[in-house]
Structure 1
């Protein structure tokens, strides 16, 4: 990570925490009242192909879902473990607000590939060796372009095995290709563009999605995409 990227991460993350802490506090209280403890969930993710860290999120599944070590991504097979509040937090990405603390700690960046689970890094070592040359992030090119497709594909899965198979076959290669495109264009200006596109999508989902696509179309397409 360059000094400029780290400085941008710290400045934006501290500013966002200063502005959004009342929202985060209200969500914590709402989850506590509606769903009970625990409010936070610390998930193991990979920062490099060989180095893991704890990614902090607001809990968006009932505690029973976390009774054993996570073995894959979330799909339709886990939908019965989510309440309406959990789904709303995921849909708005508000469950990711605590990850600003991960940014301040230096675990992740604001912009980069989403930090993957260990099992997928071990299953695709050569691919993630390339992808994780970039510091993982809260948002990124793959998050903006592929999140809705990934959610649609995985929500249709009826078992953990099917979810895992679809993720490996359909999601891992596509997201990695987009992450590698980001890697080639990475820089403070491009990071700010992706942060702005993410904010537009969260604040105004329909118009934001259109703006995000319009901005991202300026990135030249390559055979990797």
Structure 2
């Protein structure tokens, strides 16, 4: 209950504070690449319930992407403004709406598309006992995931067999050991990483 109260009021506060930034980013996307402004993708949430996760759009439009096609590490469709948004992590800002709605938390395992949940169903059954989050230890460890995949010969195989199992290790550790104070430490580390690294 404490975590939900924290998530609700902080997400509401940040949405109000960042409203001018939201508008600025939206106008930049509109002027440089047109509509749509947002990338909305179906993800698997707590207890296996599906929800729509929001991001600012950073790639040229492809219908299959909303259903979870694998584009990680492929920079060919990334727009000019998209590169800036990805590097600064500003593309993630709309997920504050997911937090406000209660579909996500500030801290928790990153939500995946159904394809990758089905790749390790037993492990995900443990991970999905908690609400997914905007950031966590896996997000910090794999902040440069796009670069790792871009350098890989088999991008999908690298994600499935190397990156995702390591993420699941960290997700399961979070499920076993998470606490409100621990979440605050992850938020502090995330702020430091995004702003100063």
User: TM class, shorter-chain normalised?
Assistant: over 0.9
Q: Which runs of 5+ in 1 are unaligned?
A: 206-225
- After superposition, what is the alpha-carbon deviation per residue over 1:147-176, rounded to whole angstroms, capped at 9, x for unaligned? 32x323211246xxx322111001111001
Q: Which runs of 5+ in 2 are unaligned?
A: none
Deviation at 1:124, TM superposition (A): 1.0
Q: Does 1:92 align with 2:94?
A: no
What residue in structure 2 maps to residue 7 of structure 1? 5
Structure 2 CA distance for partners of 1:196 and 1:73, relative to 1, 3 Å: farther
Paired residues in the alignment total: 197
Deviation at 1:189, TM superposition (A): 1.1
What residue in structure 2 maps to residue 23 of structure 1? 21
What residue in structure 2 maps to residue 187 of structure 1? 179
Q: Is the 8 A contact 1:111 1:191 kept in 2?
A: yes
Structure 2 CA distance for partners of 1:89 and 1:69, relative to 1, 3 Å: closer
TM-score normalized with structure 2 length: 0.93
In the alignment, the residues of structure 2 paired with residue 67 and residue 184 of structure 1 have an alpha-carbon distance, to the nearest angstrom, of 35
Structure 2 CA distance for partners of 1:50 and 1:182, relative to 1, 3 Å: closer
- After superposition, what is the alpha-carbon deviation per residue over 1:103-146, rounded to whole angstroms, capped at 9, x for unaligned? 01011111001001101111211010011112100001111122
TM-score normalized with structure 1 length: 0.82
Instruction: Give the counterpart of 1:55 among 50, 53, 62.
Output: 53
Q: CA RMSD in A?
A: 1.6
